[in-house]
Amino acid sequence: MYKLDTPPLLFESSRPGRSTSIFPTSDVPTKPLATLMPATALADGPPPLPELGELDVVRHYMALSTLNMSIDSNFYPLGSCTMKYNPKRNERLAALPGLGAQHPYQDESTLQGLLEILYDVQSMLGEIAGLPAVSLQPAAGAQGELTALLVAAAHFRDLGLKRTQVLIPDSAHGTNPASAHLAGFDAVTIKSDARGLVDLDDFKSKLGDLTAVFMMTNPNTVGLFDPQIAEIARLLHDRGALLYLDGANMNAILGAVRPGDMGVDLMHYNPHKTFSGPHGGGGPGAGPIAVRADLGKYLPAPVVARDADGTYRLDHDRPRSIGRVRAFFGNVGVLFRAYCYIRTHGPEGLKNVSRHAVLNANYLLSLVKHVYPVPCGDRCMHEFVASARSLARDRGVRAMDIAKRLIDFNFHAPTIYFPLIVSEALMIEPTETESRETLETFAAALLAIAAEDPAMLHDAPHSTTISRADEVKAAKSPVLVWKPAHAASTPSENGRSKSNRAAPSVA
């Protein structure tokens, strides 16, 4: 493994007068600046920008780009995030001018192709969910959660029912209680039982006449399918409450089971996890929701409608709608990638996506569980949560150390310390797009790390420009702005110490 030097900042590489700009000879008369602008409008001096040749700049950014870890360069088993490989073809199609050059203010008659695609996305997502009413507007999964909860709130308002509570398992994604709170509900935590499933007794004791919605992730964040879901749905419906499915883990059950058939009333999708939307990067994203037919009237307006003559239009005439949650039609580029993905695979192909995701996760689990025990069972769905607690207890090696050391083996770390119900959690989701060889190499790295010197592991990673960052310092006193005085106080070249450098880079 090689070690890169920290590339100098552009400001540090600056040399007075260095430039590669070549301006054409001016063909207008020149005048002194003072005769053109009043002195009060002039700065005291030129702005403190670095002076560089073009090649300096190219090499600088090229060097930085090689420091990235990405799914295109590394295995990325980040649990709960479904970092599967997104086919490049979908990116290419989304960039076609027929899609990319459309403008939402165009007349609908000129947008028929796009509207047809969006209509089909609505239909396909409705079919996969088993819930026919779909809104494509939400711009991310969490906004989908919020939108669906606002739909639920409108439903109870119309029924004249005072429902103030949203029940949420303790293994849930943090967005669930946040969305409940934003939608005006109180979040009530439901415990998990020893198996990692919903504790049915705790659920029953908290289910009441104030319960609006139970937000369930199934399979849940420990990678288990909760077979109690039909019973849970029945108990909820008996009390007039609704069942929400956090669709983050849809990659495990595509085509195998429809959430609507399990008694789910509302759900969201995460196309960036399941349907080849771009992963992370701050968006744009999409969080389409699907709801029971009778809740469809509350969905954000407009939705895409199809008239009897085959014309597509935006249906704004929805008097019970909760209103818009996003401009125009949602993030069409992401929805279009989902369209390409679903159409490419087809019904049988989507089932295979989930089968292979589950198979890969179970194979990887079987390779590592003798060293990294999996507290919630020997089998899993699309992901599993292993624990480093015996390593922590016996050798002082924690999940954080293992995650950092994996970088030295050219792997992205799994999610760690989530879900909170498993101590020293390593949440591993290999996805269906990884080969058997990759899974075996990754397992070998995990096993090798477990036997390494703890002191060395505490300082990992060792192969990166920045080794173990001081995360407390980074959170409490981040240095976000480079100042010339800082450079003047240290030698030139790469004189800054590693620890100084580490703090701002992780902030």
Partner 1 sequence: MDPKALKYSPTHEWVHLDGDIATVGLSKFAVDQLTDLIVIDLPPVGKTLVAGKSFGEVESVKSVNDLYAPVAGEVVAVNDAVAANLQILAEHPFDEGWLIKVKVDSTTLPADLLDFDVYEKKIADEAH
Q: Given the rule CB under 8 A, which residues bind partner 1? A: 389, 393, 398, 400, 416-418, 420, 423, 471-472, 475-476
CA angle 117, 119, 125 (to 5 degrees): 100
Residue 201 CB, shortest distance to partner 1, in Å, is 16
Residue 392 CB, shortest distance to partner 1, in Å, is 9
User: E strands along 345-467, which residues?
Assistant: 384-387, 415-416, 425-428
Asked if 380 and 196 touch (Cβ cutoff 8 Å), the reply is no
What is the C-alpha to C-alpha distance for residues 376 and 224, in angstroms, rounded to an integer? Answer: 8
User: Would you say 364 or 422 has its CB closer to partner 1?
Assistant: 422
Residue 380's Cβ-count burial label (10 Å; 0-12, 13-18, 19+) is buried
Asked if 102 and 114 touch (Cβ cutoff 8 Å), the reply is yes
Residue 359 CB, shortest distance to partner 1, in Å, is 30
User: Would you say 148 or 403 has its CB closer to partner 1?
Assistant: 403
CB proximity list for 81: less than 8 A, separation 6 or greater: 273, 279, 280, 415, 429
Residue 471 CB, shortest distance to partner 1, in Å, is 4
- The neighbouring-strand residues paired with 242 are 213
Residue 78 CB, shortest distance to partner 1, in Å, is 16
User: Would you say 367 or 507 has its CB closer to partner 1?
Assistant: 507
Which two structure tokens, joined as six digits, stand for 236? 């909820």
User: Would you say 165 or 218 has its CB closer to partner 1?
Assistant: 165
User: Would you say 14 or 175 has its CB closer to partner 1?
Assistant: 175
Q: Is the dihedral of CA 312, 317, 320, 324 positive or negative?
A: positive
Give the CA-trace dihedral at 494, 499, 502, 503, to 10 degrees: -130
User: Would you say 236 or 425 has its CB closer to partner 1?
Assistant: 425
Residue 97 CB, shortest distance to partner 1, in Å, is 46
Half-sphere exposure of residue 389, counting CA atoms within 13 Å on the CB side?
12
Dihedral class, residue 124 (left if φ above 0, else alpha if ψ from -120 to 50, else beta): alpha
Alpha helices in 1-84, H assignment, sequence order: 10-13, 54-65
Residue 474 CB, shortest distance to partner 1, in Å, is 9
Closest alpha carbon to 116 in 265, 336, 273: 336
Instruction: Give the 3-state secondary structure of residue 21.
Output: coil
User: Would you say 423 or 500 has its CB closer to partner 1?
Assistant: 423
Residue 475 CB, shortest distance to partner 1, in Å, is 5
- Amino acid (1-letter code) at residue 200: L
Closest alpha carbon to 182 in 221, 215, 229: 215
What is the C-alpha to C-alpha distance for residues 24 and 176, in angstroms, rounded to an integer? Answer: 59
Dihedral class, residue 165 (left if φ above 0, else alpha if ψ from -120 to 50, else beta): beta
User: Would you say 237 or 476 has its CB closer to partner 1?
Assistant: 476
User: Would you say 54 or 471 has its CB closer to partner 1?
Assistant: 471
User: Would you say 156 or 417 has its CB closer to partner 1?
Assistant: 417
Residue 417 CB, shortest distance to partner 1, in Å, is 4
DSSP 35: G
Residue 228 CB, shortest distance to partner 1, in Å, is 23
